A and B are shown apart, each in its own frame.
Chain A
Amino acid sequence: MRSATRLLGLATVAGFFALAFTPLPNRLHRAFASPARLGPADAIVVLGAGATDDYLSERSLRRAVHGMRLFQRGLAPVLVLHGPPEGSAAPEAATRAALASDLGLPAGAIVLAGGLTTREEARQSWSALSQAGRTRILLVTGSHHMWRARAMFERQGFTVSPAPVEEVAAEGGRPELRLAIARSVLQEGMARLVYRLAGVV
């Protein structure tokens, strides 16, 4: 038992050094990330990524700003901002909408939606857009999350063009940045496993 635990410890230490000091995480990133395929669409859909009170998480902010930039490029006439409420605070979506308004985006082009999971977000986007025939979307989410999100939205009936956001420094050259990539890949790997176990994808 003790020697087995020591072997596992040795493997863990070796794994740590491989993740922190070699380009392994950068390669993992390339395997997990989805490439962008930008083009005109009926709507831009920005998925939620967490907020506390009116403070958007870094991921949430990155996604929202990317969606707004695509909107400003004229790629779609509607911008859907997702984000569930956090406790009794303002919903993430409303905080993002306030930012969009401050940056000069027309209020009439913005649709707010909730959803705790990617699947719920796909459903809510569908009910907000499909009646107006808006089924071709540019989907904005993290580059690691895109594969799963795209599957959910296509399953819902959308035609999806990926517009991924880099949420970690993909070519991270410092140990801390490489570990951040490894953590993001671990999170997404876990989520894909859970979705497979639940029979969602």
Chain B
Amino acid sequence: MENYFVLVLAGLTSLAAGALEWRRHRHPAPALRAAAGRALEAVGLAALFFLANVGTGALLTVAARALDVGFISIYLSTDVTLLVLSLLQALVFQGWREARRVP
């Protein structure tokens, strides 16, 4: 049960939010599909930013050691904060891209 408890929580609140939205709009399914697509795009961008951030961190670690210009721990590049920062980068980048499409 403890394995899936958080899934149950997220499922229940999603169902509640979905029911509210269904009441307010008669045919929200196309909009839901579009929103899911945009969310996947944001997650994909976040993954790209995360890989780029971690890769850059690894390169800086190797370069600092090779050039003997100080010490950067490799563990700094896998700090969990980087996940949140990558998501923020992705959301801003996605919003910026969409804003440019609007005439």
Q: Considering the complex, which residues of chain A in the window 17-75 have a beta carbon less than 8 Å from any beta carbon of chain B?
A: 21
Partner of B78, one of A12, A117, A183: A183
| Distance between A21 CB and nearest chain B CB, rounded to angstroms | 6
Q: Is A109 an interface residue (CB 8 A)?
A: no
Contact, CB under 8 Å: A198 / B4: no
- Whether A6 contacts B41 in the complex (CB less than 8 A), given A21-B3, A116-B71, A190-B58, comes out as yes
Contact with B along A64-99 (1 / 0, CB 8 A): 000000000000000000000000000000000000
Query: Which residues of A have CB within 8 Å of B42?
Result: 9
Contact with A along B36-51 (1 / 0, CB 8 A): 0101111111111000
Q: Is B7 an interface residue (CB 8 A)?
A: yes
Query: Which residues of A have CB within 8 Å of B40?
Result: 5-6, 9-10, 13
Which one of B15-23, B24-32, B60-68 is at the A interface?
Answer: B60-68
Additional 14 contacts, C-beta under 8 A, given A5-B41, A9-B39, A9-B41? A5-B44, A6-B40, A6-B44, A8-B44, A9-B42, A9-B44, A12-B43, A12-B47, A21-B7, A117-B65, A173-B3, A183-B78, A187-B74, A198-B62
Question: Which residues on A are within 8 Å of B, measured CB to CB?
Answer: 2, 4-13, 21, 116-117, 173-175, 183, 186-187, 190-191, 193-194, 197-198
A–B complex contacts, Cβ < 8 Å, 11 sampled = A4-B44, A5-B40, A8-B48, A9-B41, A9-B44, A183-B78, A183-B80, A190-B54, A190-B78, A191-B75, A197-B62
